[in-house]
Structure 1
């Protein structure tokens, strides 16, 4: 199992819309997340920063993320959520959310 922490900025003018969308996530989007082997997926908010945490339990992360990106319902969802977000200075090419480096973990 691999753990991922990612960060992105929430545009203040879209805060209410983003929170509304995530209070009613489409079942098809949730099914795709599960089918792509992500578990314990959470998004936290502090000020204007969004922090996501997910555990990947599959065998081919890149293939699963490509399958998620190809899903038409997920793509429609992202068209609604992406205008609410703004990349951070640490964003890397090919990633919308900024990957975070794990510096500590204890089981």
Structure 2
């Protein structure tokens, strides 16, 4: 298992929309998240900075392949098309990232 943490900005004018969307995530999207070996997935919002922090456990053996599977799923792509306009990616993210990856510096289990 690998614990993953990521961060992205959230546009001020989209906060309520983003909360509403995530209060009722589409069942097909949730099923794909599980099918791609992601467990214990949470997204936190930090205001007033308007930063989203996601954390999840990856329990698969090939993260890149699972993320490619997710990205190829039509329903997930439709969901992303609704959510991505709400987000404001960090300018310091690595090339190819939307959510910026984070280094885990502490864990107590």
Superposition TM-score tier, normalisation by shorter sequence: over 0.9
User: Gapped runs of 5+ residues in structure 1?
Assistant: none
CA RMSD of aligned residues (A): 0.7
TM-score, normalised to structure 1's length? 0.97
Deviation at 1:89, TM superposition (A): 2.8
1:31-73, Cα deviation, whole Å (9 max, x unpaired):
0000000000000001100000010000110000000000000
1:1-107 pair list within 5 angstroms: 1-47=1-47, 48-107=50-109
Q: Distance in 2 between matches of 1:90 and 1:51?
A: 15
Q: Secondary structure at the match of 1:30?
A: helix
Q: Secondary structure at the match of 1:5?
A: strand
Deviation at 1:93, TM superposition (A): 1.1
Q: Secondary structure at the match of 2:106?
A: coil
Q: Distance in 2 between matches of 1:90 and 1:5?
A: 16
TM-score, normalised to structure 2's length? 0.96
Deviation at 1:90, TM superposition (A): 2.5
Q: Distance in 2 between matches of 1:64 and 1:22?
A: 22
Q: Secondary structure at the match of 2:69?
A: helix
The alignment of Structure 1 onto Structure 2 pairs a total of residues equal to 107
Deviation at 1:3, TM superposition (A): 0.6
Q: Distance in 2 between matches of 1:17 and 1:104?
A: 32
Q: Distance in 1 between matches of 2:59 and 2:33?
A: 11
